[in-house]
Amino acid sequence: MRVKPPFAAILLVLGSMAASIAVTWAADDICATPEATEAVSLAGLDRHGDLLLADGRTVRLVGLAPRQNNAERERFAAGLTRWQGQAFRLALLGAADRWGRLPARLLAAEGATATLGGQPDLTAALLAGGAALRLAESGLAACNELWRKAEPRPMAAGKPQNRSPATAQGGFAAVAFPIVDGHDAAAMKAQAGRIVVVEGRIAAVGERAQRTYLNFERRRGAGGSIVLSRALWRELQRSGWTAATLAGKRVRVRGVIEGRDGLLIEAETRSALELVD
């Protein structure tokens, strides 16, 4: 993964992800039946930390968040080692991005389903092994659900991270990632510009013309807020998420903490949100 200024780079990558996938896929049935795949071999990582195929092409595995620091890059590289030199089926999902990376899934080669330890693709296998963090992909709801199920369950907000393996999935250790407490303004500000998971109970809902805000605290600045586009809020309303029903509910969101005060986190897709209780 190329090293870029953290916040601006993350937003640029997220925009590139959505645009590249939109080029090819209009329907979300590719997780059940990928229409076209080709046989490839995984050579490893290039000098930027991106997946490198034996034929020289670079791949961005969809469903994975960009690695944001050296520790995440090292964990990703270590987790990928077991699959270097392995054969896969490449399912392309769009055109190459500005860095020449192809957005794609890597599926187990024909007759080698055990390669990924029972997971549907390499993205899910890396998530299950704690080698990467998940980031929902726009327009790929079915895939997002597969990847969500593969990922170890996050720890409760405010609890210290347990560094020992939490569970074993597919023959490799799974690691649970901590959650930022949406009611803790200082904790959120400390993670500004990073892709994180934030959790908290909704205290108030602010509906505006273009945006809706799910606020963890009633007093401005006392806690964080989830930002929803008008289109996403309408989609949520159709599924029963309303200002009245959300009051007091615990919600989990994955995205980039932003805003001038570092207290906003925008949900890009429905799959970035989870109603915990």
For the chain, the structural domain boundaries read 6-18+36-159+161-174, 180-275
pLDDT of residue 180: 93
pLDDT of residue 78: 94
State the Cα–Cα distance between residues 10 and 67, nearest whole angstrom: 10
The residue with greater pLDDT, 155 or 73, is 73
Query: Does 6-18+36-159+161-174 carry CATH code 2.40.50.90?
Result: yes
Q: With bands split at pLDDT 50, 70 and 90, how would you rate the model's confidence at 32?
A: low
State the Cα–Cα distance between residues 58 and 52, nearest whole angstrom: 5
Question: Can you tell me the mean pLDDT for 62-87?
Answer: 90
Would 6-18+36-159+161-174 and 180-275 be classified into the same CATH topology? yes
Closest CA to 72 of 156, 11, 1, 166: 1
Question: Is 128:170 a contact under the CB 8 Å cutoff?
Answer: yes
The residue with greater pLDDT, 111 or 270, is 270
State the Cα–Cα distance between residues 136 and 139, nearest whole angstrom: 9
Residues whose CB falls within 8 Å of the CB of residue 244, separated by 6 or more in sequence, listed in order: none
The residue type at 165: P
Q: With bands split at pLDDT 50, 70 and 90, how would you rate the model's confidence at 141?
A: confident
Q: CATH code for 180-275?
A: 2.40.50.140
Query: Token digits for 40?
Result: 């490839």
Percent of all residues in the chain with a pLDDT value above 90, rounded to a whole number: 47
Q: With bands split at pLDDT 50, 70 and 90, how would you rate the model's confidence at 42?
A: very high
Question: How does pLDDT run across 219-256, given as a tens digit for each residue?
Answer: 999 999 999 999 999 999 999 999 999 999 999 998 88
What average pLDDT is seen over the chain? 81
